[in-house]
Amino acid sequence: MLMGFVGFNSFSQSKTDKLKAKEKQLNKQLEQTQELLSATQKSQNSTLSELRIINKQIAFKEELLINMGNQIKETTYQIKTNKKEVESLNESILRLKKEFREMVRFAYKNRKREYSVIYLFSSEDYNQAYRRLKYIEQYSENRKLKAVEVKNMQAKLRKENEILLANIESKKELIASYDEEKKKFQEVKDKQQIVLNKILSNKEVLQAKLKKQEAEQERIAQAIRAEIEKQMAKSRKNNSFALSPEAKLASNSFEKNRGKLPWPVSRGTITKRYGKQRHSEISTAYVQNNGIDISTIKGSNVRAVFEGTVTSVFTIPGSGQTVIISHGAYRTVYSNLKSVKVEVGQAVKTKQEVGVLLPDPSGTISESHFEIWKISGSDMSTQNPAIWLYKS
């Protein structure tokens, strides 16, 4: 029974540790979004950026509340299990004490040495006498072992009681933190509504902004696609479209790091996801994104997510510069750059800086637009970068 409990306790502790690690990660992400939010609030023209970050904050806070709820459930289960263990230990101690008392009582009744001598000499033969001698020795030894067992069991009980009390205190703290986080969550929801009302108060301006954003996003998407198609056409012309052995190795190496690639910026939060999705400001509108957009500190450096060779550096009018890096059959795209630190043909290493970001329209933060493409035969397709990047 004790071994089973130890195994469960280890598993339960592992689960608790994972939940606490996740809580720490979410709090770190919330700190980053708060830093970005504080920056956007300094500008009078940053409502759209502000709302995107608030929406992200709400998503993180919802996840944090779920995490804390799971921690409370896990701690409640641990308390219940500890209580059962304490009850079982108490029962075991009572049983051991009873057995020990009987042994002591028997030893007291037979405390005189002559009783043991009579017991031995009354044996019918040598074998019986030997067995009786061994019995006397074992009985004496068992009595000592039983005393040690009682002592160890009592120590175990004290330890389990300490764990139980610690879990009870932990649960109280968790519940208090959970209640506090619920208040903060409501505050952010209220802030979201205020910003949303501010945005919707002037629908004409909002529609104009959204139309401009969509046009710019489509222009960037077309420019990137055109540049990759140009590279493919050049490869066909030079009869080098088929991947070389080195390129195949690069592709395999890139693929092996799926879910492990570093972020293109050292810190930030994804505020525009990959693919077709409902617009964050207008529930009836949808947007298409070939990559992801990461909100980060104004003027942050952008870095290569994997080693490779720079194949393109070009300017998209009104949207800064873009760098494309080849990794065999894959291409990583880094857009919205104010300046570039690499050139075509240059080999780059993982995390090597490739450029510096432009500020966003509010002028308070920056957005890194990042894409991943895969080229297979004559086909080219976008990938969801969030799946490839390390889950920090």
All structural domains of the chain, each given as residue ranges with its CATH number in brackets, are 2-200 (1.10.287.1490), 223-388 (2.70.70.10)
Band (310; pLDDT cuts 50, 70, 90): very high
> Residue 356 pLDDT more than 60?
yes
> Residue 338 pLDDT more than 90?
yes
Q: Which of 57-61, 80-84, 282-286, 306-310 has the lowest mean pLDDT?
A: 282-286
Rounded Cα distance between 104 and 143, Å, is 8
> Residue 275 pLDDT more than 70?
yes
Give the residue among 21, 94, 46, 307 at the shortest CA–CA distance from 199: 46
Rounded Cα distance between 181 and 176, Å, is 9
Band (4; pLDDT cuts 50, 70, 90): very low
Q: What average pLDDT does the segment 344-360 reach? A: 95
Q: What average pLDDT does the segment 178-196 reach? A: 87
Band (114; pLDDT cuts 50, 70, 90): very low
Band (237; pLDDT cuts 50, 70, 90): low
Q: Which of 10-19, 153-162, 258-267 has the lowest mean pLDDT?
A: 10-19
Instruction: Quickly count: other Cβ atoms within 10 Å of residue 58's Cβ.
Output: 16
Rounded Cα distance between 50 and 58, Å, is 12
Question: DSSP 3-state assignment of 6?
Answer: helix
pLDDT number for residue 325: 96
Instruction: Please tell me which of 39-53, 91-105, 248-262 the model is most confident about, judged by mean pLDDT.
Output: 248-262
- What is the per-residue DSSP string for 7-54? HHHHHHHHHHHHHHHHHHHHHHHHHHHHHHHHHHTT-TT-HHHHHHHH
pLDDT number for residue 311: 94
pLDDT number for residue 2: 45
Band (150; pLDDT cuts 50, 70, 90): low
Q: Could you give phi then psi for residue 366, rounded to 5 degrees?
A: -130, 155
Instruction: State percent of the chain over pLDDT 70.
Output: 76
Which has more pLDDT, 141 or 180? 180
pLDDT number for residue 123: 55
AA identity, residue 74: E
Q: What average pLDDT does the segment 173-183 reach? A: 89
AA identity, residue 36: L
Query: What does the CA dihedral 274, 276, 282, 285 come to, rounded to 10 degrees?
Result: 160
pLDDT number for residue 330: 94
Average pLDDT, the chain: 80
Contact predicate 51/199, CB 8 Å: yes
